[in-house]
Amino acid sequence: MELLEILLTGVALSMDACAVSMTNSMVHREKSLRLVEMAFWFGLSQGMMPIFGYILGGAFADVISVMGKYIVVFIFCAIGGKMLQEAFMKDEPADSVKDLTHQLLLLQAFATSIDAFAIGVGFSAGGADIILAACVIAITTFLLSLAAIVIGRVFGDMLGKKAEALGGLILILLGIKSLISTFGK
């Protein structure tokens, strides 16, 4: 597999991470260090999942390809629904999604990288250099997530309180897209 093909694969895989990065940065504008940490976790997760897929090959590919989409739908819709609920509530609950916790970041990183597992299975079948591919995918996702954070902060400043509702809607739409792609296969 050529470097350009790996780079384009990295860009394609990073799109969900970019959308979530943009969404998080619209809502959590004041948490700069945590947002950079988010980009790191997204990049690391996107880089590790192809390695797991490569190593495990076809052993779990069928389970991941079927169940992975439903996991993504559940995670994105649950977090997005909570964000929408909080956007329209007058009083903030104590367990707000506005707390960008490590657990939430890791959950989002996992959800956005499930497709990368299947790519790793494909890399295994195609004999790709998995270390090079994983590094390129991780770096691409990290850099594109950082760019999405900057864009999200600009839109978040423009949208104000409406940014949380838009962010929740984006996550729900990502979940629905994942569900639709499940039935399209």
**pLDDT of 50 over the 90 cut:** yes
Q: What is the pLDDT of residue 174?
A: 79
From the list 111, 19, 6, the residue with the least C-alpha distance to 54 is 6
Per-chain mean pLDDT for the chain: 82
**pLDDT of 96 over the 50 cut:** no
Tell which wins on pLDDT, 95 or 42.
Answer: 42
Q: What is the value of pTM for the model shown?
A: 0.77
How many angstroms separate the Cα of 48 from the Cα of each of 12, 83, 139, 143, 183? 16, 28, 12, 16, 27
- The torsion defined by the Cα of 168, 172, 39 and 135, in degrees rounded to 10, comes to -170
Q: What is the pLDDT of residue 29?
A: 72
Confidence of residue 184 (pLDDT cuts 50, 70, 90): low
